[in-house]
Amino acid sequence: MDQAGLKASLSAAVEEKQRLTRKRLKFKLETRAAKDLSEARQRVIALHWRECREQREWVRLIGLSLAFVRGQRYWHVERNTKEVPAAIDIARYGDLDVSAVQAWIDAPIDTKEMAEWSEHIKQTKAAVRERKALRRRPEAAE
């Protein structure tokens, strides 16, 4: 699948995840308002959680497929993830070569590149903190 197709799939998957989340929260609020924690309602809540969890994983895999097609480094995309997805799962969503995806996941990280990326992340976080502080104190921006 090409980059445009993956972007469209990712967009549709995110919209579906948002719809499922709204549905889950609506049901949860209705349950609280009715003060009804029956076993049937608890099963429905568990079903909603499972649907959202599965959709979140689908969004992640499509996003990883898109990152691979764009040529982004795996460790740039998945910085805070402890569980590495299977290459075949990523390849399936983008009609990609499994061995190429596995090589992308297993690519060694150059220490110089890691240091440069860490510095970039620090600068980005500092800029975000600065913008947040300015939004909180509008008179400071004048």
Domain ranges in the chain are: 3-108, 109-142
The Cα–Cα gap between 100 and 50 comes to 31
Which ranges constitute the DSSP H helices of the chain?
3-34, 39-70, 74-77, 87-94, 98-106, 111-136, 138-141
For residue 34, give both structure tokens. 């009715």
Terminal Cα-to-Cα distance of the chain (whole angstroms): 49
The Cα–Cα gap between 138 and 121 comes to 26
Average pLDDT over residues 25-40: 81
The Cα–Cα gap between 93 and 79 comes to 21
User: In the prediction, which pLDDT does 113 show?
Assistant: 83
Convert the pLDDT of each residue in 35-78 to its tens digit.
777 888 888 888 988 999 999 999 999 999 999 999 888 888 88
- Contact between residue 17 and residue 59 where contact means Cβ atoms under 8 Å apart: yes
**Above pLDDT 70, what percent of the chain?**
95
- Contact between residue 25 and residue 74 where contact means Cβ atoms under 8 Å apart: no
Convert the pLDDT of each residue in 116-135 to its tens digit.
888 988 999 999 999 988 88
> Across the chain, what does the average pLDDT equal?
86
The pTM of this model reads: 0.73
Among 28-32, 60-64, 89-93, 135-139, whose mean pLDDT is lowest? 135-139
Distances (CA, A) of 19 to 14, 48, 56, 64: 9, 11, 12, 22
User: In the prediction, which pLDDT does 139 show?
Assistant: 61
Largest CA distance in the chain: 58
141, pLDDT greater than 60: no
Q: How confident is the model at residue 137 (pLDDT cuts 50, 70, 90)?
A: confident
